[in-house]
Copies of this chain bind each other. A is one copy, B any other.
């Protein structure tokens, strides 16, 4: 079910970890693999359960640690919605999120550069942005239940 990392992905992982002086561990490889295998913005718990299939005995605390590490070295993004559990997303291209209220699913929405540019322009001059989060909430009209 869960594939191994392909060379390219393994390289990004190793590179990102190396760059911030951290070690490569089996746990980290598996957690990263799980994240790439199914890009449905899983919660920590979901990642944990999926990873357990490959590595029984993995601990929840470690999953928290791994994900935090990845966020720290820019490999994945956190996705927060209201007060729900944090979700994780390995899509690094700038994008927004759409949360379907009826299914709870989160969809990536590509974010044109112009809009990002315009957005930063509405800030007062002395405000320096580090991250922008844009999230929509609503419903998808059936038909193409993407």
A: number of interface residues (CB 8 Å): 39
Q: Are A138 and B131 in contact (CB under 8 A)?
A: yes
Q: Indicate if the CB atoms of A115 and B112 lie closer than 8 Å.
A: no
Question: When the two chains form their complex, are residues A139 and B134 in contact, meaning their CB atoms are under 8 A apart?
Answer: no
- Known contacts being A80-B82, A115-B115, A115-B118, is A144 close to B130, with CB within 8 Å? no
Q: Please tell me if the beta carbons of A130 and B101 are within 8 angstroms of each other in the complex.
A: yes
Distance (whole angstroms) from the CB of A119 to the closest CB of chain B: 7
Contact A127 B98 (CB under 8 A): yes
One complex includes copies of this chain to the number of 2
Tell whether A43 is near chain B: CB-to-CB under 8 Å. no
Q: Quick check: is A137 within 8 A (CB to CB) of the other chain? A: yes
Q: Check if A122 sits within 8 Å of B138, measured CB to CB.
A: no
Contact A138 B130 (CB under 8 A): yes
CB contacts under 8 Å to B, within A112-146, are: 112, 115, 118-119, 122-124, 126-144, 146
A-B contact list, 23 entries, CB within 8 Å: A80-B83, A83-B86, A96-B122, A101-B130, A107-B127, A110-B122, A112-B122, A115-B118, A118-B118, A127-B141, A128-B139, A129-B136, A129-B138, A130-B137, A130-B139, A131-B136, A131-B138, A132-B134, A132-B135, A133-B133, A133-B134, A133-B135, A134-B134
